[in-house]
Amino acid sequence: MTGKEIKEMQKKYVLQSWSKQGALNPIPVERAEGIYYYDFDGNRYTDMASQLVNLNLGYGNEDIALAIKEQVDKYCYIGPSIASEPRAKLAKMIIDLLPESFGKVFFTNAGADANENAIKIARMFTGRKKVFSRYRSYHGSSFGAGNLTGEPRRYPLEPGIPGFVKFFDPYIYREPIEFESEEAATGYYLAKLREQIIYEGPDNVAAIVMETITGSNGVIIPPKGYLPGVRKICDEFGIVMICDEVMAGWCRTGKMFAFENFDVVPDIVTFAKGVTCGYVQLGGVAISKEIAAYFDDHVLSCGLTYSGHPLACAAGVACVNYYTKAGIPEHVVEVGAVLAEQLDSFKESHPCVGDVRHIGLFSCVELVKDKKTKEPLVSYGRDPEGIMGKVIGLLKERKFMTYSHENMVFICPPLIITEEQLKEELMKLDEVLSIVDETF
Ligand code: PLP
């Protein structure tokens, strides 16, 4: 098929996520390698979002491809209750990477069902029903995960499932209160959370679910002491602490798991995306030994036909090995420092840049109409003129491929990006920000 035929067929028959279906313009991709993909006319696009912040090791990783091929030759599928080498191996590798307190993994197909199952596990373990999560969050689009999600993508599910309680993120940049220090902010948010739990009845609360670092809702990095403070609240009230590492995990921040940046150990970690970098889809729920022991003599009421799919787990084993073998966390720290420096300089030089937030190769630029008032370039949940689409379009014209959410542009390239490649791409971003300064 030609590129044009593929594109037209896709437009005609495939429903595209989160989009009005009338005005789609998907790029037909012929091949991909490293941080680049190519259309049928030979145009090269730089993937500055690692697709959906999942393709951490870029395109064409031979180790992963080979591991999948080898598993295909053995067997492609075997049910979850049968022992399978890649499944057992990957679970052990993940547990070995996590703190000593972790015991077992329940595999899922992706991030949403990882979160769904994490909530179920917390509810079964505690015998409680309520679940806390934050407004600025995305935990998946299926019914349960969509109810955990706090941002507007939850609206079609409303009024939603009773017992899902939302609290505010430590989003200091947009807090109406001026804090004297990071610690002061932490104190404020923790006090509010604790108060809210008391009002909800601590004995009813099964879990607090948080993206360790809020991803698509703005790379919100928790202030000093925040996560250990949440841990303390969970301990005080017997609540299960769940860190959603679907986007922030797997070296994105320069650590294998993002929570390692914050001196905290959750009870449950959910993961997906970078565990296989999308070569085959996989997600999972890693649980503490204490929670795992509970299910020694209680039924784990969770199940999926494809739990621990052998091809996905084979891809996972290869990915996780590659992260370590290739020194990806160290590389992310190194290249991430260049990204941080450049983004900080954009904040200084561009009137349209209200804030930049970054850690490792996880970053976003928050666009504003007015730096002083912080008025966002588009208001929350509303962009009737499609301004952010235009900004993304300007980047796309330069083959800098990424996505926006609200008034933010995300820069989360594959973790294998070199310093030179990054600098080349950031020059394009700089150019586009200058246009935004002048235009909107
Ligand atoms: N959790 C977080 C933090 C995510 O960013 C996402 C997806 O972007 C999900 C969960 C849902 O994952 P999936 O799309 O694999 O179901």
CA distances from 339 to 58, 219, 295, 414, 420 (A): 18, 14, 44, 13, 11
The token duo for 102 is: 């972790």
Q: Which has the closest alpha carbon to 353: 423, 288, 411, 291?
A: 411
Nearest CA to ligand 1 atom 1: 139
Assigned architecture for domain 3-60+327-439? Alpha-Beta Complex (3.90)
Question: What is the structure's pLDDT at 252?
Answer: 98
User: Tens digits of per-residue pLDDT, 116-130?
Assistant: 999 999 999 999 999
Report the CATH number of the 63-325 domain.
3.40.640.10
138 C-beta closer than 6 A to ligand 1: yes
268 in Cβ contact with 258 (< 8 Å):
no
Distance CA 53, CA 253 (A): 12
Q: What number is the average pLDDT over the span 334-348?
A: 98
Residue 179: how many CB atoms within 10 A of its CB? Answer: 16
| Average confidence (pLDDT) over 251-262 | 98
Q: Per-residue pLDDT tens for 211-247? A: 999 999 999 999 999 999 999 999 999 999 999 999 9
Average pLDDT of the chain is: 97
Same fold, 3-60+327-439 and 63-325: no
> Which tokens is 152 given?
């507007």
Query: Residue 23: pLDDT band by 50, 70, 90 thresholds?
Result: confident
d(CA 221, CA 426): 22
Q: 294: pLDDT confidence band, cut at 50, 70 and 90?
A: very high
For residue 167, what are its two tokens? 């609290």
* Cβ contact 309:280 at 8 Å: yes
Mean pLDDT to the nearest integer, 161-170: 97
Q: How far is the centre of ligand 1, averaged over its atoms, from the C-alpha of 142 (Å)?
A: 10
pLDDT score for 381: 87
Report how far ligand 1's centroid is from the alpha carbon of 62 (Å): 25
**pLDDT of 43 higher than 90:** yes
| pLDDT class of 399 with cuts at 50, 70, 90 | very high
* Lowest-pLDDT choice from 232-241, 349-358, 380-389: 380-389
60 pLDDT tier (thresholds 50, 70, 90): very high
Ligand 1 pocket residue status of 169, Cβ below 6 Å: no
Whether 373 shows a pLDDT value over 90: the answer reads: yes
Q: Residue 34 burial by CB count (10 A; 0-12/13-18/19+): exposed, middle or buried?
A: middle
CA of 49 to the centre of ligand 1 (A): 14
| Candidate from 116, 134, 246 with most ligand 1 atoms within 8 A of CB, to mutate | 246
Using CA atoms, how far apart are residues 20 and 50, in angstroms rounded to an integer? Answer: 23
Q: What is the ipTM of this complex?
A: 0.99
> Is the shortest distance between the CB of 108 and ligand 1 below 6 Å?
no
pLDDT at 372: 95
Is the CB–ligand 1 distance for residue 285 below 6 Å? no
Sequence-distant (≥ 6) Cβ neighbours of residue 134 within 8 angstroms? 150, 166, 167, 168, 169, 210, 211, 214
Nearest to 265 by CA among 295, 282, 290, 301: 290
Contact of 263 with 226, CB cutoff 8 Å = no
Strands 102-108, 283-288: parallel, antiparallel or unpaired by DSSP?
A: antiparallel
**Helices in 157-258 by DSSP H: which ranges?**
182-200, 226-237
Band the pLDDT of 367: cuts 50, 70, 90. very high
Largest CA distance in the chain: 65
Does 148 sit in the ligand 1 pocket, CB within 6 Å? no
Contact (CB, 8 A) for 248 and 101: no
Between the CA of 338 and the centroid of ligand 1 the distance, in Å, is 27
Phi then psi for 358, rounded to 5 degrees?
Answer: -155, 150
Each domain of the chain, given as residue ranges in start order, spans 3-60+327-439, 63-325
Choose among 17, 48, 22: nearest CA to 35. 48
- The Cα 226–Cα 150 span in angstroms is 19
Helix (H) or strand (E) holding 37: strand 36-39
Q: Of all residues in the chain, what percent carry a pLDDT higher than 70?
A: 100
- Ramachandran bin of 399, using left for φ above 0, alpha for ψ from -120 to 50, beta for the remaining angles: left
In this predicted model, what pLDDT tens digit does every residue of 301-319 receive, in sequence order? 999 999 999 999 999 999 9
Tokens of 241: 């602490």
Pocket lining: 244 vs ligand 1, CB cutoff 6 Å: yes
Q: How far is ligand 1, taken at its centre, from the CA of residue 407, in Å?
A: 20
Cα 438 to ligand 1 centroid, rounded to whole Å: 35
User: Is residue 63 packed enough to be buried (19+ CB in 10 Å), middle (13-18) or exposed (0-12)?
Assistant: middle
- For residue 140, what pLDDT band results from cuts at 50, 70 and 90? very high
Could you report the per-residue pLDDT of 63-98, keeping only the tens digit for each? 999 999 999 999 999 999 999 999 999 999 999 999
Closest CA to 171 of 183, 155, 186, 181: 186
